[in-house]
A = this chain, B = another copy of it.
Amino acid sequence: MPRIASAPKDKLDPIWKALADPTRRSILDLLRDRPRTTTEIVDAFPHLTRFGVMKHLDALREADLVHTREEGRQRVNSLNVFPIRQIYERWVSPFQEVWSSHLLWIKELAEQEDSESGTNSRKKKKVRPLNLQR
């Protein structure tokens, strides 16, 4: 398992893995509406077998995106949005800053190129406002 050794084990990794599959995201969308029993979820994906759907449910449970409680012989699965919140705090929120500074850079670049029009800028080294050299 070289990949696990490669990157530092991310705590959010199971969440990303779970969200990477379109079927699993569909299940989450389904549960967003209201909780569903396992059979209800299985029936919602007629092109997959029971086992296939349940494997996806396992992945979602491991990422804590889905909570399951027993109700007689049924299992009721419900959405837990907390991990999505974590993804947001770790990944969206910190990138908002870059988001705005990136827009700023585009603006500056556009103005720069505007004042340079006519010259052969293909070979020219255009240095970004951010530090690039080692």
Interface residues of A (CB under 8 A from B): 2-3, 5-10, 13, 16-17, 19-23, 25-26, 32, 34-35, 40, 45, 47-48, 71-72, 76, 78-82, 84-85, 87-88, 91-92, 94-95, 98-99, 102, 123, 125-126, 128, 130-132, 134
Contact = CB atoms under 8 A, between A and B. Distances in A.
Instruction: Please tell me how many copies of the chain the complex holds.
Output: 2
A54 to B, nearest CB: 15
Contact of A92 (B5, B23, B32, B84): B84
Nearest to A46: B6
A49 to B, nearest CB: 10
A48 to B, nearest CB: 6
A79 B98 contact: yes
